[in-house]
Structure 1
């Protein structure tokens, strides 16, 4: 059995959804990796139990105030945590879409979150099939999660739309969870936020660009696929 942890990150112009897929046998190892990352962050004054969240770490808020405006410490913690993630027997899938192009191409486009989510679900389903496994999908809580659950049920009956339709037969169920209690959701939040920063964030700060690039290549070994769809 596999688990796929799913989260999103977005700007006004681009939307991204990512999945971290890992075997049930390695869930404990993932939890231990996050505990080790938390112990490392505690060395910088961050309280144990503080949720790992990409934007909060970079902004130094919601428990990450001890490293606010301390760019070196921020980079060290983020890189250390991604290093722990990259050593796990797991894979990451990232799907994005250019929102403006999506709205320009279609008269009645699906919401960008839904577009990216179904692309990621297709990736997860294909990966599970290649392993001969079933998969349980766990998404971070969102305001319209009931609608997403209903749409998932429709996909399993009639298939996803697009050029590679799938009934997502390997996905056993999709549920929603509180990210503060889920190492998998916290890890994938760091990954999808990083990709969004790399793909959509514009800055003239050379240090910031170098940091994001370094963090990306730390994560890259377990990224099975990353794509931004420009309709």
Structure 2
């Protein structure tokens, strides 16, 4: 079984959704590893737990990420650490394909 961590994004002219797919038996370990990325940022830069790895928060310095909002290299480093963590697991990312209109198949 795969678990999907889905996220959505909205601009003035586009709505999109992406997902990170992870095997059920690895999902808890992936979650812990990503939590360690946040904990490392908290220890090194004063990020306030329980900050989460959401782009809007990270890039705008919201919900605990305020200490790094003006340090783009640090922000990029956090992204880099998160992507490396994801790569260590059998996880897959990509756009969720749209089904054709009228396709109600499960």
Same fold (TM over 0.5): yes
Give the RMSD, CA atoms, in angstroms: 1.9
**SS, match of residue 52 in structure 1:** coil
CA distance in 1, matches of 2:53, 2:46: 14
Report the structure, 1 or 2, having the larger helix content.
1
2:4 touches 2:20 (CA, 8 Å); kept in 1? yes
Query: How far apart, in 2, do the equivalents of 1:39 and 1:52 lie?
Result: 11
Partner SS, residue 75 of structure 2: helix
Identify the residue that residue 47 of structure 1 maps to in structure 2.
Answer: 48
User: What is the 5 A alignment of 1:120-139?
Assistant: none
CA contact (8 A) 2:68 2:74 kept: yes
Alignment of 1:77-116 (within 5 A): 77-95=78-96
Larger radius of gyration: 1
* Aligned mates of 1:72, 1:29 — CA distance in 2: 27
Count of paired positions: 105
Q: Matched residues in 1 for 2:37 and 2:2: separation?
A: 23
Higher relative contact order (CA 8 A, sep 6+): 1
2:105 alignment partner in structure 1: 167
| 1:44-78 Cα deviation digits (max 9, x unpaired) | 11123212210111111221111121111111112
SS of 1:3's equivalent?
Answer: strand
> In structure 2, what is the equivalent of residue 19 of structure 1?
19
Q: Deviations over 1:183-217 (max 9, x none)?
A: xxxxxxxxxxxxxxxxxxxxxxxxxxxxxxxxxxx
Q: 1:55 to 1:47 in 2, by over 3 A?
A: same
Q: Unmatched 5+ residue regions in structure 2?
A: none
